[in-house]
Amino acid sequence: MADRPNVKDILAKARATQAAGSPEPAAAAAPSPAPKAAAAPAPSAAVPTGRPLTLKEKLAAAKANAAPAATASAPVETAPAAAPAAAATAAPAVKAPTAAELGRPLTLKEKLAAAKAIAGATGSAPAAAAVPAAAKPVVAARTLPPLSDMNDPKDLAEALRQTASKPAPAKAATAAKPATKKEDLNLPPRPNKNAAMAALQGTRRRFMIGAIPASAWLVLAWTTFSAALVAFSAMLGRFFFPNVLAEPPSTIKVGPSSQFEPGEVNERWKAEWGFWIVRSVFNGQDSIYALSTVCTHLGCPPNWLAGEQKFKCPCHGSGFYVSGVNFEGPAPRPLERFKLSVGDDGQIVVDKAQKYQEELGQWNDPDSFIPV
Q: Which residues bind ligand FES (CB under 6 A)?
A: 295, 297-300, 313, 315-318, 329-331
Task: Give the residue with the Cβ less far from ligand FES, 297 or 339.
Answer: 297
Contact partners, residue 292, CB within 8 Å, separation at least 6: 274, 275, 335, 336, 337, 338, 355
Task: Give the residue with the Cβ less far from ligand FES, 280 or 293.
Answer: 293
Running DSSP on this structure, what letter comes out for residue 367? G
CA distance 145 to 266: 138
Count of Cβ atoms closer than 10 Å to residue 210 Cβ: 8
In the complex, the smallest distance separating the C-beta of residue 305 from ligand FES, rounded to whole angstroms, is 14
Phi, psi of 81 (to 5 degrees): -95, 10
In the complex, the smallest distance separating the C-beta of residue 296 from ligand FES, rounded to whole angstroms, is 7
For 193, the 3-state DSSP assignment is: helix
CA distance 367 to 340: 6
CA distance 143 to 152: 13
Task: Give the residue with the Cβ less far from ligand FES, 126 or 332.
Answer: 332
Task: Give the residue with the Cβ less far from ligand FES, 61 or 331.
Answer: 331
Is residue 278 packed enough to be buried (19+ CB in 10 Å), middle (13-18) or exposed (0-12)? buried
In the complex, the smallest distance separating the C-beta of residue 267 from ligand FES, rounded to whole angstroms, is 17
Task: Give the residue with the Cβ less far from ligand FES, 221 or 298.
Answer: 298
Report the greatest alpha carbon distance in the chain. 203
HSE, CB side, 13 Å, CA atoms: give it for residue 239: 6
In the complex, the smallest distance separating the C-beta of residue 279 from ligand FES, rounded to whole angstroms, is 24
Task: Give the residue with the Cβ less far from ligand FES, 95 or 316.
Answer: 316
Q: Which secondary structure element, helix H or strand E, spans residue 252, and what is its range?
A: strand 251-255
In the complex, the smallest distance separating the C-beta of residue 298 from ligand FES, rounded to whole angstroms, is 4
- Identify whether the C-beta of residue 363 lies closer than 8 Å to the C-beta of residue 336: no
Phi, psi of 124 (to 5 degrees): -85, -5
In the complex, the smallest distance separating the C-beta of residue 292 from ligand FES, rounded to whole angstroms, is 12
CA distance 368 to 350: 10
Task: Give the residue with the Cβ less far from ligand FES, 255 or 317.
Answer: 317
The residue type found at 307 is: G
Task: Give the residue with the Cβ less far from ligand FES, 311 or 338.
Answer: 311
